[in-house]
Amino acid sequence: MGIVLYSVAIALGFMGALTVIKYGRFFGLVDIPNNRSSHSRPTPKGGGLGILAAFIVVALWTGLSIWFWGAVTMVAFISLMGDRIHLSPGFRLVIQFGAAIVVVWAGIGGAITNPSYHFDMPLGLAAVAFLLVFIVGTANIYNFMDGINGIAAITGIIGFSLVAFYAFSIEDGSSEGIVCISLAFACLGFLPFNMPKARVFMGDVGSILLGFVFAVLVSELSRTWLEFICLCACLFPFYADELSTMAVRINDGERLSKPHRRHLYQIFVNEMEISHWKVSMGYGLAQLVVGLSMLWLIHYGSIVVVSVILVYFCLFIAFSYIVRMRLVEN
């Protein structure tokens, strides 16, 4: 069963990208370069449609909660509309928080079709509010970080594979693990059309979906806050780049709602003129090292895990600071 499902997932990721390449312009799915872009020519976007299709197929195949995949599909559909026409950030956030509320309510209340789908962590009101912000925040961070060729797909392949490894380690045949592997294969099917040269972009429909699903599965698989931290580390470079960039912009008195291209990965590509694929592969390698090490350290307790993740953050911030200061000096 697994081989068939994963074959379908990679085929859908492939066909979704190919379809948008051929017909995206007809439906208005085109990314026009602007002063924030890291590309120079109009390119079809919305290639993540195949990833959405793969997610729906695996959700139905494994019997996941309709509250889960229905909410994700709604978020992805609105994101697809956003790939075609302008939608206000406020409207997007309302939809995303609404979907997150549905998923968290289902996970807490047990209003589900899959008996294994529930949050094991004790959740008070503050914890529920945190999870909502975490889910929506991760979805948007994934979207913000999808700005160069290959970075979103490579991160999806590695991140979901790491989470799947953990899911299967605690439960053979885990439905959450199957979803993760399927999404990793869907990203793999999409990748050849996006790297090294981008013939199509994933678009919000793909990046928002991947971030949203990643956050939900991490929340659902975490039986303790220690596990939660370790599983979040499977997306470490995205979180580290976004949070450190936000700190830089706040320090410079810049409005966070203002469009920009000040992420570290954007500096590498735009100011330092490093090839997209090299930066994407570098982020993927860092993600793999951090993710594997944190999953290994999970058995050593909170002090070790928190200490190591703080070291990783400090190293990333120091590296980012050095790069940014050299640019200022030059």
What is the pLDDT confidence band of residue 209, given thresholds at 50, 70 and 90?
very high
Distance CA 293, CA 312 (A): 11
- CA–CA separation, 266 vs 38, rounded Å? 7
For residues 301 and 305, give the distance between their C-alpha atoms in angstroms, rounded to a whole number.
6
Please name the helix (run of DSSP H) or strand (run of DSSP E) that holds residue 30, with its range, or none: strand 30-31
Average pLDDT over residues 97-117: 69
Residue 268 DSSP one-character state:
I
- For residue 34, what pLDDT is reported? 66
The better pLDDT of the pair 111, 59 is held by 59
pLDDT of residue 107: 74
Other CB atoms within 10 A of residue 10 CB: 20
How far is the CA of 213 from the CAs of 24, 89, 135, 201, 223, in angstroms? 25, 20, 8, 19, 17
Phi, psi values for residue 44, rounded to 5°: -60, 145
Find the mean pLDDT for residues 10-21: 96
CA–centroid distance for 308 within its chain: 23
At residue 266, the pLDDT reads: 93
Q: CB pairs under 8 A, 24+ apart, for 71-74? A: 71/99, 71/100, 71/102, 71/103, 72/99, 72/103, 72/209, 72/212, 72/213, 72/216, 74/99
Mean pLDDT across 196-219:
94
Where does the pLDDT of residue 252 fall: very low under 50, low under 70, confident under 90, or very high at 90 and above?
confident
Name the average pLDDT for the chain. Answer: 89
In sequence order, the 6+-apart residues with CB closer than 8 A to the CB of 225 are: 121
Residue among 219, 177, 189, 213 nearest 75 (CA): 213
Residue with tokens 């040269």: 197
% of the chain exceeding 70 in pLDDT: 92
Which amino acid type is present at position 83?
A: D
Which pLDDT belongs to residue 38?
Answer: 62
* Cα gap 244→143, rounded to integer Å: 16
Task: Say how many CA atoms lie within 13 Å of 211 toward its Cβ.
Answer: 30
Candidates 73, 64, 46, 77; CA nearest to 5 is 64
The pLDDT tens digits for 25-50 are 887 888 776 666 566 678 899 999 99
Q: What is the pLDDT of residues 159-186, one digit of tens each?
A: 999 999 999 998 888 889 999 999 999 9
Predicted TM-score (pTM) of the model is 0.93
Say yes or no to pLDDT of 114 above 60: no
285 Cβ contact partners less than 8 Å away, ≥ 6 residues apart = none
Amino acid at 150: G
Question: Helices (DSSP H) in the chain: which residue ranges?
Answer: 2-23, 49-62, 66-84, 89-109, 125-145, 151-170, 175-190, 203-221, 225-232, 236-251, 264-266, 276-297, 302-329
pLDDT digits 0-9 by tens, 264-300:
999 999 889 899 999 999 999 999 999 999 999 998 9
Per-residue pLDDT, averaged over 195-209, amounts to 93
Token digits of residue 43: 């390119």
Neighbour count for residue 259 (Cβ, 10 Å): 8
Does residue 330 have a pLDDT over 90? Answer: no
- In angstroms, rounded to a whole number, what is the distance separating the alpha carbons of residues 165 and 181? 9
Name the residue with higher pLDDT: 255 or 237: 237
pLDDT grade for 151, boundaries at 50, 70 and 90: very high
